[in-house]
Amino acid sequence: MLYNPTRLLFISTLIIGTLIATSSSTWLGAWIGLEINLLSFIPLMTQNNQFAAEAALKYFLVQALASAMLLFAILLSFILTPGSLSTLPPAILVPLGSALFLKMGAAPFHFWFPGVMEGLSWYGNLILMTWQKIAPIMLLSYLTTYNLFFSSVILLSILAGSLGGLNQTSLRKIMAYSSINHLGWMIAASVMGDNFWLMYFSFYSFLSLIMVLIFDQFQLSHINQAYALSMTSTPTKLLLFGNLLSLGGLPPFLGFLPKWLIIQNMAEMGLYFLITFMVTFTLITLFFYLRIAYGAYMLTHQEPKWNNQPTVVSTLTLYLSAISLLGLSLSSMIISMF
């Protein structure tokens, strides 16, 4: 991808659009940054197949609707008050927040997200799951207070992300519903401060990168392919499903660390009902991760008698997986030293 000059240009404008949106002092400037980001991502989605073209069309239509809603809310805020980020009237909170939730794919505005994920390549999915969420969440952090609207979106995102992945066989859709579930945690983290959601987003992006590297390296798209996968060794398969459990937030893996910190700080804020709901339904995501791992290990396990030579990608994946599986223990050791 990076050796193509056209794609390199669009990746650069994609990054620039996000930086414009996050560093703008007015909502109109933020809208301009989001539009540059959108128009840069559309060419990166298109490939020589009909599924990518369909996904790009779905993404464009939904994002155009969200941009129209956002611009309408911005113009309405200009009529009521000046366009500063810090002086937004409460009447604008719901339409402006809804537009940003639609852009990032949070429930109940998540209807487009799994379908778009299904048509993209794994690296396109990585951009959609990680980088494309930065600008909307950053703008949302200017608005986020613990009220009924935001708490409802948090609960619905975790509910939809957990239950939606139960009956899926496509790994892309499983990752999509997992992303919606994690998005609920990120919105909850933004209630407590920018440092919390940035911390959670960093861990989520790292774990998503590992999973995309593994899925793309072995060309996996469905659960049955993972069942019949001829790995180079049993430890390699262990790393694959260990990273899935880390992404789900199972202790003692690294993915549990951001959830642990958020649960602790939400308990200090007295949000006990929200914590209970979030933890309970996040366990459902662990169930369909375990369903993949159990079937691949216990039902269709096989041991090839030959070994392939490791590639650069597989070696990188091995090191990143070691951080994912042992990171929580290492983090605890480092913290105890100080």
DSSP sequence for 51-108:
HHHHHHHHHHHHHHHHHHHHHHHHHHHHHHS-SBTT---GGGHHHHHHHHHHHHT-TT
Q: Of the segments 80-89, 112-121, 187-196, which one has the largest average pLDDT value?
A: 112-121
**Cα–Cα distance for residue pair 138/129, rounded to 1 Å:** 15
In the predicted model, what is the mean pLDDT of the chain? Answer: 85
The per-residue pLDDT for range 71-109, each reduced to its tens digit, is 999 888 878 775 455 556 677 888 999 999 999 999 899
**pLDDT tens-digit readout, 149-187:** 889 999 999 999 999 988 888 999 999 999 999 999 999
Length of the chain: 338
* pLDDT tens-digit series, residues 18-34: 999 999 988 889 999 99
For a pLDDT cut of 70, what percent of the chain falls above it?
Answer: 85
Output the pTM of the full model: 0.90
Which two tokens mark 87?
């002086």
Q: 26 pairs with which residues across the strands? A: 84
Q: Can you give the residue ranges of every domain in the chain?
A: 1-104, 113-338
Interior angle at CA 160, CA 154 and CA 166, nearest 5: 145
